[in-house]
Amino acid sequence: MTDRLFKIALIIKGLDGGMELLGAILLLFISPKAVDELTAGVLSRDLLGPPDGSLAQHFASATAEFATGSRTFAVIYLGLHGLVKLALVWALLRKIMPAYPVAVVVLGVFVVYEVIRTVHTGSVLLPFLAALDVAVIVMVIREYRELRATSGR
C-alpha cells in the first residue's frame, strides 16, 4: 500500500514539476500587461470572491509584484523547481538509491526557501507547496528505509 501511495505521490510531483516547467516557459512569453489584463478580468468577474476580499487582494498583489520585477524570480524558480522535480521523480521511480538522500536534501532546501519567501511576500500558495514537499520528503525517507532493509544495506 505504501509503495503504491509513494508512486502516486511521485507521479503527482512529476506532473507538478512538468507544469512548473511549462509555466516558466510560458512566463517568458507573457507580457506584464497581459498579466494585468488577466488579473483585471478575474477580479471584475468576482471569480475570487468580492474584489476587496482577502483572496482577490492576494491575487492582485501577486500579479502587481510580478509586473514590477519578480517575473525573473518566477521564471527561474519555476524552471529550476520543475527540472529538479522531474529529474528526482525519474530517479526515484527507477529506485536509484543515491537519489533518495539527494531528494530529501533538495526538497528540504525548497521547503526552507518557500517558507522564507512566504514570510517576505505573504504568499498564499507557497505554504501549500511547502507542505506538499514535506509530505513527499516523509514518503521518500520511508521508501528509502524500506529499500535499504530489503537490499541488506
Contacts of 141 (CB under 8 A, 6+ apart): 100, 104
* pLDDT at residue 118, rounded to an integer: 87
What are the domain boundaries of the chain? 2-148
The pLDDT averaged over each successive group of 10 residues in the chain (153 residues) is 80 89 86 69 56 60 62 80 90 93 93 89 83 90 91 69
Q: Are 9 and 139 in contact (CB under 8 A)?
A: yes
Q: φ, ψ for residue 30 (rounded to 5)?
A: -95, 130
- The rounded distance, in Å, linking the Cα atoms of 80 and 28 is 14
Cell of 18: 512538468
Q: Which residue has the cell 505521490?
A: 9
Cell of 141: 525517507
With vertex at residue 143, the alpha carbon angle to CA 13 and CA 11, rounded to the nearest 5 degrees, is 20
- pTM: predicted TM-score of the whole model, two decimal places: 0.70
- The rounded distance, in Å, linking the Cα atoms of 39 and 59 is 8
